[in-house]
Amino acid sequence: MKIIKYLSIVMVLIIGVTQCKLPDNVDPKNPTEVPIETLFTNAELALVNQVDHVSVNLNTHRLTVQYWQEMQYFDESRYLYQDRQIPDGYAREFYRDVLMDLKRTKELLADWGGAVVERDNKIAIATILEVYAWQCVVDAFGDMPYSEALQLDENSRPAYDDAASIYTSIMSELGIAQSMLKEGASYGGTDLLFGGDIASWKKFAASLEMRLGMRLADVNNSAAQTAVEDAMSKGVFGNGEGAILNYVGVTPHVNAIYDAYIIGGRQDYTPANTIVDLMNGLDDPRRALWFTQVDDGSGNMIYLGAVAGLDGAQTYTNFSHFTAPFFEPTFPAILMEGAEMHFLMAEAIERGYNVGGTAEAHYNAGITESILYWGGTQADVDAYLANPDVAYSTAPGTWRQKIGTQKYIALYNRGVEAWAEWRRLDFPLLNVPEGMVYNDIPKRYPYPFNEKLQNKASYDAAVAKMGGTDDHRQRVFWDVN
């Protein structure tokens, strides 16, 4: 009910802007000034929508990590990005619809005459969302325009910043934002994630610091440990907590899958055999919560995923589909939640960081949180953790394989984060697409194709730094294993 109230307030703000009496020389359809709250809400919603998007024009990460497989049209499952200019769409949504609006929000707040605590809280919250967006951009591409970005006509050909340097900068910005947050007013009901609750934003910021720190673990262990231990001291998301948007369920404020399947009338995706086969082998109780069953031809009902990366069309009716909750218009979009934190803590302990508890306990807690969140029972949890292929002491492989495999399952439907963590932890093993080798699975997006024309000098310099080739097989700076 809270989200309905918050969106109702946003609608009132927007209607008020467009319907109030204006001077005769002002075009009400093209306002030159937009209220701070409206800018912020637009940016917050655009961020969630882009991270959760299912359109192959904007976000293909569920396909890349082989949670999903395309049916009739299969090029994007095979990493053909140029025809639809997918990297362009992905970057554009973050730069134009998220980062630009947040930048303008902070500019307006700098001259705002309201209470200091409220102003600082609003600036800090906008900064936290900026940091989240920048991480998504860098994790996808590597080096990207940052220090000279978002300047419009003042600099339409920005230089590319070093990706590791961007991480250093946004982690510093996040620290400043954390220090600015004080109990008091912020965006109130125009904040769709937390309704302006400062305690929740503090946990979100600490959880983001934890994630950023762990990304660095293989390339800068000391910086990673410092960030992780600092995040723990501030308090990260726990069980039942997270940055989760429950859509109001009225178009256009609906879940992305509902928008594609119900409104758009498309049947473009089914679960991929990679995730389904993995869960079949573990007798994972989340299968029934996520996937339907299909007749195997002999009257036996089974979970069957479409072949990931197949060089050809597949028939929608031959495979398992998504269960009914995914098609609800109110189905939530997740930016971050407690299970992710537990898996990060399990890994941190294996690396020797001081976060409290044991790796096994946090690993078990991450699995438990995931199963219960999706509607499973404690009995399901107990049986699953007793499986020798799941139990931390007996599951095959190193801690990377154990944690990486279970985290991959727990991150289901969250393609952006799952792709980053698969690259960093290197587990589980994905299917080799037909006619390819394992290394062909993308490690990054190629740069937006329009950059070759619109920002050629900066693009050429960035490509030269990578050795002269802009290719999806190259790795971003934190992916070294």
Structural domain boundaries in the chain: 2-256+329-465
DSSP 139-185: HHHSSEE-TT-S-GGG-SSPPEEPHHHHHHHHHHHHHHHHHH--SS-
- pLDDT value for 32: 56
Give the separation between CA 268 and CA 226, rounded to whole angstroms: 44
CA separation for the pair 276, 273 (Å, rounded):
5
Q: What is the pLDDT of residue 23?
A: 40
479 falls in which pLDDT band (50, 70, 90)? very high
Confidence of residue 266 (pLDDT cuts 50, 70, 90): confident
Which tokens is 431 given? 């299917």
Give 4-9 contacts, CB < 8 A, sequence gap 24+. 4/248, 5/189, 6/189, 6/190, 6/191, 6/192, 6/195, 7/192, 7/248, 7/253, 8/189, 9/188, 9/189, 9/190
Strand, helix or coil for residue 479? coil
Quick one: what percent of the chain has pLDDT higher than 70? 93
Q: How far is CA 215 from CA 305, 337, 363, in A?
A: 30, 17, 18
Amino acid 103: pLDDT: 98
Classified by CATH at the fold level, domain 2-256+329-465 comes out as 1.25.40
Angle at 315 between CA 311 and CA 316, to 5 degrees: 120
Q: What is the rounded average pLDDT of the residues 465-469?
A: 95
Helix extents (H) in 21-115 = 36-52, 61-64, 86-92, 100-110
3-state DSSP assignment of residue 336:
strand
Q: What percentage of the chain has pLDDT greater than the value 90? A: 91
pLDDT of 248 reads 94
pLDDT of residue 37: 96
Res 8: pLDDT: 40
Average pLDDT over residues 20-48: 72
Average predicted confidence (pLDDT) for the chain: 93
